[in-house]
Structure formats: C-alpha cells, structure tokens
Amino acid sequence: MSNKLNHSMSLAKPDALGINNKQKVAVAIGVIGLFILTLALLNTNFPNQGVFLTLALSAIIGGTIWFSREAYLSKHEGIKNDGVWFKSISSRGILGWILGVVLTTFYIVLYFFPKYLGLGTDGEANTGLIALFDPLSQLLSGRNASQWFVYGTLYTVAILAFGYKFILKYRHNRYQQLRTVSVMFFQLGFAFLIPEFMYVMNNDLPYYDLKSIWPLNYYIFDEWSVKGFLSSGNIGLALLIFGILSIFVFTPILTYKYGKRWYCSWVCGCGGLAETAGDSFRQLSSKKMYAWKIERWLIHVVLVFSVIMTTAVVYTYLGYDKNEFWLTRGVFISLVIGLLTLIFTVIMIFKRQELAKDAKYGAISFFIAIALLLVMHFTGTTDHLFYIKAGALRAAYGIYIGSIFSGVIGTGFYPILGSRAWCRFGCPMAAILGFQQRLFSKFRITTNGGQCISCGNCSTYCEMGIDVRAYAQKGENIVRSSCVGCGICSAVCPRGVLKLENDSMKGRINSKDVLLGNDVNLMELVNQK
C-alpha cells in the first residue's frame, strides 16, 4: 500500500459503492460465458465445440478477473468488507436465494440425473453440456467427458478465478495469498490434471485425487477401487499405500505440527472452494450456541458412520483363509478394534482432564462402536452385516453423506448457511483432524493481552461459526477442533489481537478471567485454577 500523496484533489471518491461501468462490462462478459454453458445445457448443437467451450470458460475467468481488478486494485490495501451486509448476494437477499436455488438444483441434477446434463448412456455419444466438454477431455486423457469431468472443470475454474479475486482482496496479507495459491495449485494439479494423466499412463487405475484422504474420500477402500489399485502393478500398490499412509501417518504428523489448517485451508478441495468462491458468504455461518451443539453431534455421527461403513465394506470382500491373503476378516477386525482401543487409551491417559464431562460420552461411544464391530464379526455372513447388506450401508453413505450433505447442502447452500456448512457439520476428515487439533497439536490462535475491544469482526467473519470474540475478550487462546486456520479473524481484527501460531503444547489452553493490564493481584487471584 503506498501512501504517497495522491495529487488528484477530487473530493468525490473515484469508486462508488455500487459497481462501476467497467465492472458492469466484466459482469456481462462472465454472464455471456455462463450463457453459452446454459445454451449447451439446453442441447444447442454448437458447430465447433472446442471453440465455444474455450470461449465460455475464458469469458467466465476473464470476467471474474477483470471485475476483481476493478474492485480492489483502485483501492488502498486493507480490509474490504464495505457493504457486505447491504448486498443482496451476501446477506441472504433475493440474489443470494436465487443463487442458492440454482446451485442446489445443479447439484441434484449432477448427482442423480446426469442424463439431463447430456451424459450418453449405454455407449451413446454425449450431448448437451457434457458434449461441450468432450474436446477438453479428449485433449487431456483421450476419452469423452463424463458429468464428473464437467463438474471437475467448473470446480477448478471457480477456484482459480475466485482464488485470484481473493488474492487481490487480501493483497496486504501474505498468509492469505500463500494459502490461496496453495489450494489453487492442489486443485489444478492434484484434483484435476494428475488423475487425467494417470489415466493416460494406466487406464486400469481408479480415479484418485492424491490429496483427497479417507474418510473424506470415502470410496478409496471400496472393492472396485482397491482391486483397481492392486491390478495396476507397482504404481497402483504405491498409490494404495500412499492412501493408507496419508491418514495414518502424514495426517497426524502434519496436524500435530500445524493444526488441521495444513489440510483444510491449504490443500483440501472442499476448503479451497469455500475459501475462494465461497468467501463472500463466510459471514453467514451461525454463531449461535445451538448451532455449535448441532455441529458437535452431527459431525461425530458422520465420522462414526463412515468408520463403520468403511470397515463393513472392506470386511465383506476379505476372506477367511489366511493362506489366501494375510489380511483375513479376523485379522482386519482385530486391527480396527486394536487401533480404536489404542486411540481411546492414549486419550484417556493423557487428556482425561481436558475432556471433562465429554469423556463420558467418548467412553460410551467407544464401547458402542467396539460392540457393533464384534456383533458384526460374529453375526456377519458373506455380504450381510447387522442383517443389512454392507453394500446398502455404503450406498446410503454415498447418497446421503457423499452427495446430498457435501454437495447439495454443503455447496448449494453457500449463500444461505455460509461457505463451510459441510466442513463444519459433516466432514468426517475434519472431525478426525479437529479431534487431534483439540488434543494433540501445537496450533492455537493466540490473543493479545488486554487489547480486545469486543467488536466482533472476528466472530462475524469466522466461516466455521466459532465465537472467536468470546475467547479474545477473555484473553484466552482459541483451541477449537473446528478451527480450519483460515486466518481471517486475525486479518479483520482492527486492534491486532489475534495471531495463528504453532508453539509448544504447554499452556496452550489458558483460560483467564482477568486480563493483562489489571495490576491488582486479581490476575493471580482469579486466574489460578
């Protein structure tokens, strides 16, 4: 930010609160891009699909870039939240609702009626929107597009274009810029390009986005997926091992050192979309106590569901005979129970105090889970578990959690529930990372002595609905399992109160009743616990 005197002595600000003429043109360009896609959706047959697809995507990206440059580059560096609660789109106004409905319908069609997008079934050629993307798919992997390719492309376009916007918006803040570059890189490379190239190298390999880790990636241990890896030689085996190491080794180490933000705000695609395209909606998350209560129940139920479901699915395709393959059903169930018991024991030994009354719920849940697994083992037949087909359990998870929760509600409801509804209420990966962040991590948000003025910018802009102010005004560090470490609370704080830090575990949680600055011996008197 340069503060050198501006010699234009105009008193009227160059930028009005509404959008300027250049921005109107930029919006028009973007809308034309979207319009081409809409025409394709309505089965318009474009003569040269490659040209029109290029045109459409360039218009969308170009329009967004131009709009953002006009919005931010003419202003001083700093917080750019003027009018957020006055704009229809970002305050649940009519534009917000329309966008929510459009996104939600798009997700419903995408997941459940892909033929309306033009997906060719039974070997027929694609039509409509999906056909428009055929040339790009052909270029990357030599096959026709699927609805997932269309979705993946649009998703990547959204993260790149809005990522650029976000970088300009926070051009005074290098933490925000770096993590945005990071999610843009992982989306473009890991989620979009690498899987296509892997297909070119070896078309038996199942689709595998390397950064998508179980249990977020709930299908990685499905039979078809594992068989796909195993039948693809060393590379397949390496990928499968990478998938297992990701959750059991890399994740705990990185989360210990940096908190869950290393994943949720720097790598993850869901987080990536929420932080870029969803940035305008972050203030809509509910900060109410009841929302927090719902969150804690819901996200852990999803986690338990995903663990049981995955165990059941793997269990059904394993055999009994250890001469056939060392990992038999008995060995597998023992491993799962062993791992759960290990985690439970470690927590109860080291963190009993911190959990307080939650420890009881934890213990009950643990024993229920173990009991379920044992029941499963001793009542299970080839494909029936708990007298339900494991496949049905898996299918239910796929539909209700994988599609409806994460997609339809998680993204479709951005303009209503805020940008991280899925990450907050549903993501099992976030639950695991959060659990560790709360108990075994160096990460915390430090508050700055007595400087907080309780203004509430931090809470307002917390996309996870954490009442950051409640901690800051007590001088207490924020150590919350749901915090994704986006760093926006620190950015919007007008008094320099919040700082994301990795430091020693000791004294990380520092509840205080009397803050620094009050020199009556109150600080010792009241704060000693």
Partner 1 sequence: MEHIVIIGNGISGVTLARHLRKLSDKKITIVSAETDYFFSRTALMYIYMGHMSFENTQPYENWFWKKNNINLKKGYVNTVDTNTKTLHFKEGDTLAYDKLVIATGSKPNKFGWPGQDLKGVMGMYHKQDLENLEKHAPNKEVCKHAVIVGGGLIGIELAEMLNSRSIPVTFLVRESSFWNGVLPQGESQMINRHIKNHHIDLRLSTNLREIKSDNNGNVKSVILEETGEEIECNVVGLTAGVTPNIDFLKNSEIELGRGVKVNRYLETNIPDVYAIGDCAEQHEAIGNRRPIEAVWYTGRMMGETLAQTICGNKTAYNPGHWFNSAKFLDIEYQTYGWVFGERGRPEYEQHFHWKHEDDTKCITVAYHKNTNEFLGINTFGIRMRHEVFDRWLTEKRDVDYVIHHLAEANFDPEFYSRFENNILKTYKNTLQTIS
Residues that bind partner 1 (CB under 8 A): 1-6, 10-17, 76-79, 81-87, 172-175, 178, 283, 287-289, 446, 448-451, 453-457, 459-460, 469-470, 473, 487, 490-492, 494-496, 499-501, 513-520, 522, 525-526
- Residue closer to partner 1, measured from CB, 24 or 322: 24
- Residue closer to partner 1, measured from CB, 78 or 142: 78
- Residue closer to partner 1, measured from CB, 45 or 518: 518
- Please, what is the minimum distance in Å from the beta carbon of residue 82 to partner 1? 4
Instruction: Supply φ then ψ for residue 4, to 5 degrees.
Output: -60, 145
Element (H, E) at 50: helix 49-72
Burial readout 208-228 (b: 16 or more C-beta within 10 A, e: otherwise): bbbbbbbbbbbbbbbeebbeb
Cβ(361)–Cβ(368) below 8 Å: no
- Please, what is the minimum distance in Å from the beta carbon of residue 66 to partner 1? 22
Q: DSSP assignment, residue 356? A: T
- Please, what is the minimum distance in Å from the beta carbon of residue 249 to partner 1? 25
- Residue closer to partner 1, measured from CB, 216 or 492: 492
How many other C-beta atoms lie within 10 A of the C-beta of residue 264? Answer: 29
- DSSP strand pairing (384-385 vs 388-389): antiparallel
Burial of 236: CB neighbours in 10 Å, binned 0-12, 13-18, 19+: buried
- Residue closer to partner 1, measured from CB, 261 or 438: 261
- Please, what is the minimum distance in Å from the beta carbon of residue 21 to partner 1? 15
Q: What is the dihedral of CA 29, 33, 36, 41, to 10 degrees?
A: -140
Instruction: Supply φ then ψ for residue 500, to 5 degrees.
Output: -80, 130
- Residue closer to partner 1, measured from CB, 289 or 356: 289
Q: DSSP assignment, residue 502? A: E
Picking from 461, 458, 448, the residue whose alpha carbon sits closest to that of residue 512 is 448
- Residue closer to partner 1, measured from CB, 49 or 91: 91
- Please, what is the minimum distance in Å from the beta carbon of residue 444 to partner 1? 13
- Please, what is the minimum distance in Å from the beta carbon of residue 274 to partner 1? 20
Q: How far is CA 401 from CA 90, 221, 404, in A?
A: 26, 16, 6
How many other C-beta atoms lie within 10 A of the C-beta of residue 329? Answer: 19
- Residue closer to partner 1, measured from CB, 12 or 349: 12
Q: How far is CA 259 from the centre of its chain?
A: 15
- Residue closer to partner 1, measured from CB, 423 or 489: 489
- Please, what is the minimum distance in Å from the beta carbon of residue 420 to partner 1? 17
- Please, what is the minimum distance in Å from the beta carbon of residue 526 to partner 1? 8
User: How long is the chain?
Assistant: 529
- Please, what is the minimum distance in Å from the beta carbon of residue 254 to partner 1? 16
- Residue closer to partner 1, measured from CB, 79 or 359: 79
Helix (H, G, I), strand (E, B) or coil at 72: helix
- Please, what is the minimum distance in Å from the beta carbon of residue 91 to partner 1? 8
- Please, what is the minimum distance in Å from the beta carbon of residue 96 to partner 1? 14
Dihedral sign, Cα of residue 479, residue 480, residue 486, residue 488: negative
Cross-strand partners of 445 = 478, 500
Cβ(457)–Cβ(492) below 8 Å: yes
- Residue closer to partner 1, measured from CB, 354 or 513: 513
Residue 89 neighbours by CB under 8 Å, 6+ apart: 95, 96, 99, 280, 415
Token representation of residue 492:
């919007």
